[in-house]
């Protein structure tokens, strides 16, 4: 079954009003070049969502957010609900990024509740998983990923409303990436785990992204591996040209 890949830019805590120019540049690149055979999404900080929505609506670039609270509303100072993100124009939200798991002590159960909240608000949940350097050195990678998949992905998740992002914590922002053999083994493992956990057919067609130091120079290698259905891109998504060069992997390798 052909799975349409998706390349998602995660701006993290970067971006002021002036950064909206990068979104305009990206749109100009996407509109001028060969249309990549991939879905495209940018996840700016929450403060820019509405203005980014103004630029992106009715274009080929979708808008996502970076986190949500599990409740629809309530006394949770500083938090933002999935419904609010949808109201601001987002169609997706990242949940369980390792920076939130580490900085805010987010557990698998909380991540699953956030993913369910995203679904309730009709947002696509982009659920992140990944092992730490210590866990990798201990040979515990697959065990950790299995636990995260079982704990963070709601059982009723579908290929239409959920994307999985495998992001080894040690590869994020470090310039290091796993070998092609490691990515192939791990994505195959994630695919099989999803297929056995979710409703018939959903795990087979759910998109599994690789994330962690994806750059224009390594995108072609990483994105062509089996069961890699796109990328979650941090640093290299901040510059429209770099992000577009990553996307161009799919323009050059258009699959019929």
Q: Give the residues lining the site for ligand PGA (CB under 6 A).
A: 10, 167, 172-173, 211-214, 232-236
DSSP string, 51-107: HHHHHHTTSSEEEEES--BSSSSSS-TT--BHHHHHHTT-SEEEES-HHHHHHS---
Nearer to ligand PGA, 141 or 213 (CB): 213
Nearer to ligand PGA, 96 or 235 (CB): 235
Bridging pattern class, strands 61-65 and 92-95: parallel
Set 69, 97, 119, 187: catalytic member: 97
User: From the centroid of its chain, how far is CA 35?
Assistant: 20
Nearer to ligand PGA, 69 or 101 (CB): 101
Burial class (CB in 10 A: 0-12, 13-18, 19+), 45: middle
Shortest distance in whole angstroms from residue 172 CB to ligand PGA: 4
Nearer to ligand PGA, 183 or 214 (CB): 214
How far from 98 is each of 9, 20, 171, CA to CA, in Å?
A: 16, 26, 11
Nearer to ligand PGA, 211 or 230 (CB): 211
Say if residues 151 and 112 touch (Cβ distance below 8 Å).
Answer: yes
66 CB-side CA count, 13 A: 23
Tokens of 176: 């290091």
Set 83, 99, 106, 167: catalytic member: 167
Burial class (CB in 10 A: 0-12, 13-18, 19+), 216: middle
In the residue annotation, 182 being an active-site residue is answered as no
Shortest distance in whole angstroms from residue 77 CB to ligand PGA: 26
In the residue annotation, 97 being an active-site residue is answered as yes
List alpha helices for the chain, DSSP H: 20-32, 49-56, 82-87, 98-103, 108-120, 133-137, 141-152, 180-197, 202-205, 216-223, 240-252
- Comparing every residue's Cβ against ligand PGA, the nearest one is 234
Shortest distance in whole angstroms from residue 165 CB to ligand PGA: 7
> CB count, 10 Å around CB of 77?
4
Nearer to ligand PGA, 123 or 233 (CB): 233
Shortest distance in whole angstroms from residue 256 CB to ligand PGA: 30
Shortest distance in whole angstroms from residue 209 CB to ligand PGA: 9
Shortest distance in whole angstroms from residue 203 CB to ligand PGA: 22
**Which of the residues are catalytic?**
97, 167
């Amino acid at each position: 079954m052909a799975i349409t890949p998706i390349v998602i830019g995660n701006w993290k805590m970067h971006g002021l009003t002036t950064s909206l120019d990068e979104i305009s540049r990206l749109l100009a690149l996407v509109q001028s070049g060969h249309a990549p055979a991939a879905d495209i999404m940018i996840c700016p900080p929450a403060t820019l969502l509405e203005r980014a929505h103004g630029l992106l609506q009715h274009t080929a670039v979708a808008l996502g957010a970076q986190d949500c609270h599990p409740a629809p509303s309530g006394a949770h100072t500083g938090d933002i609900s999935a419904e609010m993100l949808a109201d601001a124009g987002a169609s997706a939200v990242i949940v369980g990024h390792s920076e939130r798991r580490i900085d805010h002590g987010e557990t698998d159960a909380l991540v699953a509740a956030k993913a369910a909240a995203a679904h309730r608000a009709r947002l696509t949940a982009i659920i992140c998983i990944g092992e730490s350097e210590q866990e990798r050195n201990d040979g515990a990678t697959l065990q950790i990923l299995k636990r995260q998949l079982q704990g963070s992905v709601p059982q009723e998740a579908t290929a239409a409303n959920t994307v999985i992002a495998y992001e080894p914590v040690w590869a994020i922002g470090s310039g290091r990436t796993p070998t092609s053999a490691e990515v192939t083994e791990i994505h195959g493992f994630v695919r099989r785990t999803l297929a056995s956990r979710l409703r018939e057919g959903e795990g087979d067609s759910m998109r599994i992204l690789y994330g962690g130091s994806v750059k224009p120079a390594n995108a072609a290698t990483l994105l062509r591996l089996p069961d890699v259905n796109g990328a979650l891109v941090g640093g290299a998504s901040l510059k429209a040209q770099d992000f577009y060069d990553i996307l161009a992997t799919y323009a050059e390798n258009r699959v019929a």
